[in-house]
Amino acid sequence: MNGYTARQIAELLQKDDPRMNLRTIRYYTQIGMVPPLELSGNKRVYGERHLHWFRAILTLSRTGETLSAIQDKLRHLTPEEIEKIGSQLPLYESSRILENETLRITDDVAMTISPRISAETKQKMIESVSRLLEEGDR
């Protein structure tokens, strides 16, 4: 089994968010934000699933969720759902948020559009998505 130390996990996650340091990793582990560590021989280690959990925590924290709400939310999700949330972390990079425009289409649908998209194309995209949503409600 491949295992990571807390320091290795921190180094991997710092590529995603410089604030993810060793102390934060240990704190999240201590308060039960991530599943219990796995045994590898006689050592407790982090595995790939822990990386998914930490990335999901980072993603949700960037959306404004509190640690308590994140912990509660993740507790009820499947490993696949947690991995999916974690894979969306790049969408929440501050530079991308600042340069792109996010449009709320409905309460359930939002679109993030690059400034390189023309106003005409943007309008067509909004109309297409709105039309699809209306057809789905029928």
CATH code for the domain of 36: 1.10.1660
111-117 — which CB contacts under 8 Å span 24+ positions? none
Could you give the 3-state DSSP secondary structure of residue 102?
strand
Looking at residue 19, its pLDDT comes to 86
Which residues on neighbouring strands pair with residue 101, listed in sequence order?
113
Same-domain check for residues 63 and 129: no
Cα-Cα end-to-end distance for the chain: 50
Q: How many residues does the chain have?
A: 138
Looking at residue 24, its pLDDT comes to 95
Residue 90: how many other CB atoms lie within 10 Å: 10
Tokens in use for 94?
Answer: 């501050």
Report the distance separating Cα 18 and Cα 94, nearest Å.
13
Same-domain check for residues 14 and 75: yes
Residue 1 lies in a domain: no
The kind and range of the H/E element at 106 are: none
Residue 95 lies in a domain: no
- Over residues 67-90, the pLDDT tens digits come to 999 999 999 999 999 999 999 888
- Residue numbers of the domain that contains 119: 100-137
The total number of structural domains in the chain stands at 2
Report the distance separating Cα 1 and Cα 22, nearest Å.
22
CB 56 within 8 A of CB 17: no
Same-domain check for residues 16 and 79: yes
- Over residues 43-65, the pLDDT tens digits come to 889 999 999 999 999 999 988 88
